[in-house]
Structure 1
Amino acid sequence: MKSTSLNYPITDSNWIEKLCRWADAHYEFFAFTNGNSYEYPEQPFATRFLAGNNQLTEKEIWAESTGFKKVGIIGYDFKNKLEKLKSENNPFFELPELCFFQPSFSLKFEGENIYSDVELTDEFWIEIEKTELPNSANTSCAVTPQISQEKYLATVKTIQNHIIEGNTYESNFCQAYSGSFENWDPIGAYFKLKKLSPMPFSALFKAKSQWLVSASPERYLKRTGSKIIAQPIKGTIRRGQSLAEDAVNRETLANSEKEQAENLMITDLMRNDLSKVSKTGSVQVRELFGIYRLPRVFQMISTIASELKEGVSFSDIIQASFPMGSMTGAPKIRTMEIIEELESFKRGWFSGAFGVIEENGDFDFSVIIRSIIADLEVKKLYFGVGSAITYDADAVQEYEECSLKAQAILEVLSGK
């Protein structure tokens, strides 16, 4: 990629916002990713911008060695193409299960340099600089939870009965908030959310009228050559309001047998998934029960790595591992059936995966959580939150954990 010196370092969010607003006016698709300089095993998302007008067909998405980047989303309900499953809950609005585009240009930001895969003209820089930012971004949207607290608590009890009967060991039960709007600014919402909750897999994605505004803390999969890693998150506790409380909460999470048991089940599930496409004996748990500090919570994260078999394709990898085990539970297929029976909404893009596939087949995908999904044409948005329900889970604590995960998004949608 060609390097261009930039007078506006990437810490200047105004310049990045101008770039996004310029792209919104000129392109049907664009994406901006930012790892927010996190110390994250195997690195967070790179800081990148990609834009284009060419939406890819399913055949083009799965094709190997195309020689161009692919950017997009695999929706949760794509599971139905991989297994004998169904999604019969009502959607908030229709979303494509696969939504990818081919960028006509991409930028990578490192320090005060931009690396571009095309020659950038003086006119490009002038256009960006002339792009006007709105005086205020309307990010307010009244949302309501789709199930009551009473219904949530009763559903947790139902899941625990399934556990007693041996149908599932752990189920990631999710609830959703949804709302309608007349005018809503996804770009403004992204920068507000990024300021409130900067995350290692922060992303803004436009696909015509549909948008993903993401503050995801979780990686689904990253491939580098023949190496692949998965990083499931299971285990959450709020940050303390003082250094002392922060330290106590961190230790509480690190030493929680319940949270470790949840994390271990999903780590084992991901080891099993990766073993289907990996060389025999190569699947290793690189880190178990790592505790990582995020803006509002500590998360327990494990890292599983392996060497892929010769000739394994992107399609093979998705077939073996999608959706991310942390968003389903174990055993995976039966638990997804239980989730479908008990949840009140069609997940759509929520708990699917977003990422970039490179020209050489390398890729990096996040799990779509802590994210707003919106359609400006139908003027609706929603977001989901969930937690792992196990036999010894306390339903009230699980409900409070979901509220904690929803907090930053609710603040953005309050418009304050």
Structure 2
Amino acid sequence: MGDLISDQQLTWLCDNWSTVLFLNSNEQGDSYLALASSKADQFAGSDISELSRWLAERENGWSFGYLGYDLKNQLEDLDSNNADRLQMPDALFFIPEILIRFSQLGQMEVVYGEFSGFGQTKGNFKNEFRPIRWKETKDEYIKNVVKLKEHIQQGDIYEVNYCHEFYSEDIDIDPCQLYTCVNEITKAPFGVFLKHEEFYILCSSPERFVKKEGSRIISQPMKGTVKRGDNQIDDLKLKNYLEDNQKERSENVMIVDLVRNDLSKVAKRNTVQVDELCRVYPFKTVYQMISTVSAELDDGQSNINAILACFPMGSMTGAPKVRSMELIEKYESTKRGVYSGSIGYINDRGDFDFNVVIRSLHFNSSNRYLSAMVGGAITSKSDPEMEYEETRIKANALILAIEKCTK
């Protein structure tokens, strides 16, 4: 099956709607297209209390949006002072004026709203390549990993997710074409195309943050990455390598413990359980080690309380969570923004599904700044050189998409 929505159709949607959100499962579940004009009912800001109130007043309908990583500052005594060239809102939620569901087989259903079909814009947009630069040199990255390992050896933390940025300035690029390029390469199950005014997020995430069906809530932390092989034999060797890698397993187990603790804050007593531990899943460009933790949501807990109890997700912070986030702020040089936040929906039954915003490109069309962050878990067993190489593996698909789109 081809793409559910072509880049020309996305361009037409972006020309006609202030907010366009396409949650693309790539045939691994339902996909959703949510459209809203500038007059739509929406929340954009950084006040969690206001957001909670906004969502509570609209709990009987559909809402779509994202939570940015830096909402952490309202959940804990933290701050964010690193450079921010993107200037995206810390949180955005909106009520779609048109909502479309695509089944796993690609059948389209208009959930509500008047939709007469896709138009197409055949623009003459010429993408122009601009150099891709890394915010930190390899030496700077490795020095910071060494310093973080010293914190671990001193008992300050057990594990920390450390990320760095690559970017392109003054770039002329069509984000709709770029998203199509990214998605063709990755085919990730939690893909996202989001346009809100001048802001774009092009995400190829393989990771679910948290999902609720009925009273059951699950989280699927992902720690452990290896590239796919060039042939069947090499591919199997790499899969087996990840399955048997004790460092990767220990990283995953530490985050599972953190997620269990987070879920216990909103779960019925004695219902938190680990359904799956350190299973290796295949994706188009990488293998990932994923665990599944579930619980029964306690009576009286709101959806936003359940989500925020686990936010930011442990797989993108480290353990203990608060101290890890303090060190992230100290050693990283770019404000994370929506990266390592979460994008998803809450439906009219009160169920929800949110991803982890990783493997993503972020674009401000006003200042023509294109940015991405990649990282990994640093533990006492981390080899700084190998950690650096792992971040490059995670960046490869995004850089390839930029190069492909600007040829």
Instruction: Tell me whether the two structures share a fold, i.e. TM-score over 0.5.
Output: yes
Cα distance in 2 for residues equivalent to 1:276 and 1:138? 48
Matched residue, 2:112: 118
What's the CA shift for 1:135?
Answer: 5.9
Cα distance in 1 for residues equivalent to 2:114 and 2:304? 34
| Contact 2:86–2:362 (8 Å) recurs in 1 | no
1:357 to 343, 346, 350: 346
Matched residue, 2:46: none
Identify unmatched segments of 5+ residues in structure 2: 44-49
Decide which moves more: 226-235 or 316-325.
316-325
* Runs of 4+, deviation exceeding 6 Å: none
Q: TM-score, normalised by structure 1?
A: 0.91
Q: Structure 1: which amino acid aligns with 2:325?
A: M
Matched residue, 1:6: none
Q: Write out aligned runs for 1:239-388 (5 A).
A: 239-388=228-377
Deviations 1:46-70 (CA, angstroms, capped at 9, x unpaired): 2121101225234454325533211
Identify unmatched segments of 5+ residues in structure 1: 1-10, 39-43
What's the CA shift for 1:184?
Answer: 1.6
Cα distance in 2 for residues equivalent to 1:412 and 1:404? 14
1:28 to 18, 22, 45: 18
Deviations 1:313-333 (CA, angstroms, capped at 9, x unpaired): 122123311001000000000
Deviations 1:118-153 (CA, angstroms, capped at 9, x unpaired): 3646xx23xx24x23346762744321110100111
Cα distance in 1 for residues equivalent to 2:240 and 2:149? 27
Matched residue, 2:226: 237
Q: Write out aligned runs for 1:57-68 (5 A).
A: 57=43, 58-59=50-51, 61-63=54-56, 65-68=58-61
| Contact 1:238–1:404 (8 Å) recurs in 2 | yes
1:80 aligns with 2:94: no
2:33 to 49, 52, 56: 49
Cα distance in 2 for residues equivalent to 1:14 and 1:146? 35
| Contact 1:137–1:189 (8 Å) recurs in 2 | no
Tell me how large the CA RMSD over aligned residues is: 1.7
Distance 1:318 1:300, change over 3 A: same
1:171 to 148, 155, 160: 160
Q: TM-score, normalised by structure 2?
A: 0.93
What's the CA shift for 1:78?
Answer: 0.4
Deviations 1:286-332 (CA, angstroms, capped at 9, x unpaired): 10011001111110000101100001112212331100100000000
Q: Secondary structure at the match of 1:32?
A: strand
Cα distance in 2 for residues equivalent to 1:151 and 1:330? 23
| Contact 1:212–1:373 (8 Å) recurs in 2 | yes
What's the CA shift for 1:17?
Answer: 3.3
Decide which moves more: 334-343 or 62-71.
62-71
Q: How many residues align?
A: 395
Matched residue, 1:5: none
What's the CA shift for 1:259?
Answer: 0.6
Matched residue, 1:3: none
Q: Structure 1: which amino acid aligns with 2:23?
A: T
| Contact 2:126–2:172 (8 Å) recurs in 1 | no
Q: Secondary structure at the match of 2:88?
A: coil
What's the CA shift for 1:22?
Answer: 2.2
Distance 1:14 1:387, change over 3 A: closer
Cα distance in 1 for residues equivalent to 2:303 and 2:332? 30
Cα distance in 2 for residues equivalent to 1:216 and 1:76? 15
Q: Structure 1: which amino acid aligns with 2:249?
A: Q
Q: Secondary structure at the match of 1:117?
A: strand
Q: Percent identity?
A: 36
Distance 1:14 1:239, change over 3 A: closer
Decide which moves more: 261-270 or 58-67.
58-67
Cα distance in 1 for residues equivalent to 2:87 and 2:182? 24
Matched residue, 1:19: 9
Cα distance in 2 for residues equivalent to 1:306 and 1:33? 25
Q: Structure 1: which amino acid aligns with 2:86?
A: F
Q: Secondary structure at the match of 2:112?
A: coil
Cα distance in 2 for residues equivalent to 1:185 and 1:246? 34
Cα distance in 1 for residues equivalent to 2:291 and 2:395? 23
What's the CA shift for 1:346?
Answer: 0.6
Q: Secondary structure at the match of 1:13?
A: coil
Q: Structure 1: which amino acid aligns with 2:9?
A: L
Matched residue, 2:93: 100
Q: Secondary structure at the match of 2:340?
A: coil
Deviations 1:166-194 (CA, angstroms, capped at 9, x unpaired): 11100000000122234221111110000
